[in-house]
Amino acid sequence: MTTSATGVVTSTRGRPLRLGTRASELATSQSGWVADRLRARGHEVELVLVQTEGDRSTAPLTQIGGTGVFVSALREALLEGRIDCAVHSLKDIPVAEEPGLVVVAVPEREDPRDVLVSRDGLRLADLPDGALIGTGSPRRAVQLEDAAPGARVTDLRGNVGSRIAKVTSGALDAIVLAAAGLNRLGRADEASEVLDTTVMLPAPGQGALAVECRSGDAATVELLAVLEHPATRTCVAAERALLAELEAGCSAPVGALARIEGDEIVLDAVVGNASGGTLRHSLRGADASGLGREMAQHFLSRLAPAGLNHPSPAPTAQHPGA
């Protein structure tokens, strides 16, 4: 890296850092957040839009492969040298390492919880029997079965704006979204309720970002390392170790959230059981990866023979009043 006479830091490549991102409003918002922090340190950064399989398809994630559908095209662009780094929602990244690439930084996490956006601002507990709730997430679906047994869950895809429009138009009574997404888009006031983690545990890594680059690009690795937030890295390591040990992907019915309390990590988790309902457990320990693996073994010893429940939310339904 070199510094020009104007004080702007450029790479040894003599051009701005090419930061790859999905083209959605949310993706460019969170990639822009990363870019702004690098620019504040004097680096030139340009965003490069990359369309992924998850963006091209409107089918449920479980039908188009789930794991990796939002990251594979970005990783391909990285490996081919079309971009220098990429910003992902960490929850979308497969748990297995990608040869030739490294997640060089996990910035400080946004709010990891889920929120309810509902008609008339109703809370989840106040929704009437038969209420139609939209989500494309099996994780959310199994927890909604426990928290709102009288509700009907229907499949929902699309960007944040189009999903919220399903509620404002009356097509759905409510939807469940990530708080981090609403916060990053400046739309937090549209949430009717922030769901407590005793009701709805988030996806492993939810609310966190992952900044990835080629492992052999030492200059870029050094440049991006300043974005690292060690406490966030530790927490998501525990959550993702649970996924890895369960051999489950990012679309699996698994929720997990870790936090640091003193010298220990506390991990809360939930899985959908194929025999019905959910299994929940909490553990604490000092080793993040070991804690996640221990949690997975706890669940594996208690799951029904068929394993995890992978509910398929019903096809998008028409609201009776719409």
- Give catalytic residues, as residue numbers: 91-92, 139-140, 157, 163, 250
> How many residues are recorded in the chain?
322
Query: Which residues, other chains included, contact 10 with Cβ-Cβ below 8 Å and sequence gap of 6+?
Result: 1, 2, 3, 4, 16, 43, 44
What are φ and ψ of residue 279, in 5° steps? -115, 130
What does the alpha-carbon distance between residue 200 and residue 192 come to, in Å, rounded to a whole number?
A: 15
Q: What is the 3-state secondary structure (H, E, C) of 85-132?
A: EEEEEHHHCCCCCCCCEEEEECCCCCCCCEEEEEHHHCCHHHCCCCCE
Where does residue 53 rank: exposed (0-12), middle (13-18), buried (19+ CB within 10 A)? Answer: middle
SS3 315: coil
Are 187 and 209 in contact, with CB atoms under 8 Å apart? no
Query: Within 13 Å, how many C-alpha atoms sit on residue 239's CB side?
Result: 32
Distances (CA, A) of 282 to 131, 142, 188, 239, 265: 31, 18, 29, 12, 11
Order of strands across the sheet with 264-272? 254-261, 264-272, 278-285
Parallel/antiparallel/unpaired status of strands 152-154 and 278-285 = unpaired
